[in-house]
């Protein structure tokens, strides 16, 4: 789902309150209306928008009463810093995904389950697993804050080395790409997913700033 759509939807406090309520139980319109202290008509309008976005769906009970519930899990991340603004949304990965190979900088216990829980799992084991995953979630949140802080600090230092107020993130990506590749314009452009003309101009500025040197069409750290 597009993160901009999510941001627009969640910018409304009542829609956030509806989702908070539905995260605890399925509800019908009158329940939500009483919880929000707004008219059923307004609730229906909010639910329609949430349904169109795929966040909420409904089911009908034996008495033909329509209940609404959250349709799927989704995570929205927003980052605001001196060097950029970004928002991204993502769905939970398949439980069988092996993150140890995809996340080489993380050290995860080898006992992370590869299969989702089943009805035969012991309740005590499930409770212990839930507690462990909550702790891991808290640690990951702390790690994200640490990484964001280090990125901002590193980009500040890149700006200091350039001596001007610049697009430090792009220049930092160029420097990292030069180190990770053979330093050719084409390889650097491919690494940062930018057109070669833009990359060449950035490399030129870094060279003039004394951070890079060019030899036979290939760049390297000065």
* Of the candidate ranges 93-102, 108-117, 122-131, the one whose mean pLDDT is the lowest: 108-117
CB atoms within 10 A of CB 29: 17
pTM value is 0.68
Q: Taking the mean position of all CA atoms in its chain, how far away is CA 163?
A: 32
Look at residue 151 and tell me if it is in a domain: no
Task: Check whether 116 has a pLDDT greater than 60.
Answer: no
**Which domain range does residue 48 map to?**
1-114
What pLDDT, on the 0 to 100 scale, is given for residue 8? 92
Could you tell me if 77 and 88 are in contact, meaning their C-beta atoms sit under 8 angstroms apart?
Answer: yes
Confidence at 115, pLDDT banded by 50, 70, 90: low
| Arithmetic mean of pLDDT, 72-76 | 89
Round the average pLDDT of the chain to a whole number and report it: 86
Look at residue 20 and tell me if it is in a domain: yes
Look at residue 137 and tell me if it is in a domain: no
Query: Minimal CA–CA distance to 80: which of 177, 151, 10?
Result: 151
- Among residues 96, 114, 132, which one ends one of the domains? 114
What pLDDT, on the 0 to 100 scale, is given for residue 161? 76
Q: Are residues 185 and 86 in the same domain?
A: no
Could you tell me if 172 and 122 are in contact, meaning their C-beta atoms sit under 8 angstroms apart?
Answer: no
Q: Which residues contact 73 (CB under 8 A, 6 or more apart)?
A: 91, 92
Domain count, the chain: 2
- Can you give the CATH number for the domain in which 53 is found? 1.10.10.10
Q: Are residues 14 and 74 in the same domain?
A: yes
Q: Are residues 90 and 174 in the same domain?
A: no
Query: Minimal CA–CA distance to 15: which of 44, 24, 60, 79?
Result: 44
Task: Check whether 162 has a pLDDT greater than 80.
Answer: no
Q: Which carries the bigger pLDDT value, residue 86 or residue 39?
A: 39
With tokens 């910018």, the residue in question is: 11
Q: Which residues contact 184 (CB under 8 A, 6 or more apart)?
A: 217, 218, 219
Look at residue 177 and tell me if it is in a domain: yes
What pLDDT, on the 0 to 100 scale, is given for residue 99? 73
What pLDDT, on the 0 to 100 scale, is given for residue 105? 73
Look at residue 136 and tell me if it is in a domain: no
Look at residue 122 and tell me if it is in a domain: no
CB atoms within 10 A of CB 102: 9
Look at residue 42 and tell me if it is in a domain: yes
DSSP string, the chain: --HHHHHHHHTSHHHHHHHHHHTT--B-HHHHHHHHTS-HHHHHHHHHHHHHTTSEEEEE-TT--EEEEE-S--EEEEEEETTEEEEEEEPPPPTT--HHHH-TT----TT--SS---TTS-HHHHHHHHHHHHHHHHHHHHHHHHHHHHHHHHHHHHHHHHTS---HHHHHHHHHHHHHS--BHHHHHHHHT--HHHHHHHHHHHHHTTSEEEETTEEEE-
Q: Are residues 192 and 99 in the same domain?
A: no
CA distance 164 to 92: 41
Could you tell me if 201 and 212 are in contact, meaning their C-beta atoms sit under 8 angstroms apart?
Answer: no
What pLDDT, on the 0 to 100 scale, is given for residue 23? 95
Q: Are residues 2 and 105 in the same domain?
A: yes
Q: Are residues 50 and 110 in the same domain?
A: yes
């Amino acid at each position: 789902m597009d993160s901009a759509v999510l941001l627009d939807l969640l910018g409304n406090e009542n829609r956030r309150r509806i989702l908070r309520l539905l995260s605890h139980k399925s509800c019908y319109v009158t329940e939500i209306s009483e919880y929000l202290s707004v008219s059923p008509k307004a609730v229906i309008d909010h639910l329609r928008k949430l349904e169109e976005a795929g966040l909420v769906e409904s089911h009908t009970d034996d008495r033909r009463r329509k209940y609404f519930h959250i349709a799927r899990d989704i995570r929205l991340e927003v980052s605001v810093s001196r060097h950029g603004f970004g928002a991204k949304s993502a769905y939970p990965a398949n439980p069988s995904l092996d993150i140890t190979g995809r996340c080489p900088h993380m050290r995860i216990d080898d006992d992370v389950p590869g299969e989702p829980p089943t009805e035969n799992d012991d309740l005590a084991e499930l409770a212990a697993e839930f507690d462990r995953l909550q702790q891991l979630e808290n640690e990951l949140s702390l790690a994200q804050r640490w990484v964001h802080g280090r990125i901002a600090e590193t980009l500040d230092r890149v700006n200091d080395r350039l001596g001007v107020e610049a697009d430090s993130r792009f220049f930092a990506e160029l420097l990292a790409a030069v180190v990770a590749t053979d330093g050719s314009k084409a390889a650097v452009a491919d690494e940062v997913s930018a057109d070669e003309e833009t990359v060449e101009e950035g490399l030129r500025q870094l060279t003039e700033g004394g951070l890079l040197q060019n030899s036979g069409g290939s760049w390297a750290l000065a």
